[in-house]
């Protein structure tokens, strides 16, 4: 999993080898959690222990699934109005840029909005029309895990289990 860290944006937590290829996570399980937030809280409680080496810890999502959540029904009206609005905003942006470098401001702004709306209409109408009603809904897709295991390098696994057990974090479902 790639996360922002102190060593730079997108630094990986030991998940990639010297070749940059993904590798299986290593370590001993010290806790298993139903959701990612609980696994994060468990790791946070380990980091509260001053001398616990948190860089030995890895959170692993197990039993991955792709979840698609339907957010709305699509119609020609929604598709075309959405395309026109987003295109108009893009046109307004370009109109503002042109207006900054010319003597006239409203002309480029209006022309940019109109041309952007037209381009937006065309750019959404063609793909939506090509679908011929096979997908008349909008959705979002994400990858989620069935459970999240907290792994530790062997040198600190026993101590990690003890800390989580003492703080009642070893397994939250």
Is residue 120 in some structural domain?
A: yes
**Mean predicted confidence (pLDDT) in 128-151:** 93
Q: What is the average pLDDT across 150-166?
A: 94
Answer whether residue 11 is part of any domain: no
pLDDT at residue number 135: 86
114 is in which domain, residue-wise? 75-135
Query: What pLDDT is recorded for position 133?
Result: 83
With respect to residue 167, please indicate whether it lies within any of the assigned structural domains: yes
Residue 141 domain flag: no
Q: Residue 1 domain-assigned?
A: no
Residue 42, in any domain of the structure: yes
Both 119 and 103 in one domain: the answer is yes
CA-nearest of 172, 125, 117 to 150 is: 172
Average pLDDT of the chain, as a whole number? 88
Q: Using CB atoms within 10 A of its CB, is residue 61 exposed (0-12), middle (13-18) or buried (19+)? A: middle
pTM: predicted TM-score of the whole model, two decimal places:
0.61
Answer yes or no: do 130 and 91 share one domain: yes
Residues 81 and 131 occupy one common structural domain: yes
Report the number of distinct structural domains present in the chain. 2
Same domain membership, residue 98 and residue 51: no
| Domain assignment of residue 79, yes or no | yes
Work out the number of other CB atoms within 10 angstroms of the CB of residue 104.
9
């Amino acid at each position: 999993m790639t996360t922002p860290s102190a060593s730079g944006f997108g630094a990986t937590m030991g998940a990639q080898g010297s070749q940059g290829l993904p590798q299986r996570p290593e370590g001993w399980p010290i806790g298993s959690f139903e959701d990612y937030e609980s696994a994060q809280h468990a790791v946070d409680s380990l980091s509260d222990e001053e001398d616990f080496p948190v860089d030995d810890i890895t959170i692993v999502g197990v039993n991955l699934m792709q979840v698609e959540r339907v957010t709305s029904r699509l119609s020609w009206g929604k598709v075309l109005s959405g395309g026109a609005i987003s295109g108009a905003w893009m046109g307004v942006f370009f109109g503002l840029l042109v207006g900054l470098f010319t003597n006239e401001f409203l002309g480029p702004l209006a022309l940019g909005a109109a041309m952007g709306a037209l381009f937006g209409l065309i750019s959404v109408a063609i793909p939506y029309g090509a679908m011929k009603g096979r997908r008349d809904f909008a959705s979002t897709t994400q990858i989620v895990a069935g459970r999240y295991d907290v792994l530790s390098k062997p040198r600190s696994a026993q101590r990690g289990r003890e800390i989580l057990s003492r703080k009642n974090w070893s397994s939250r479902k």
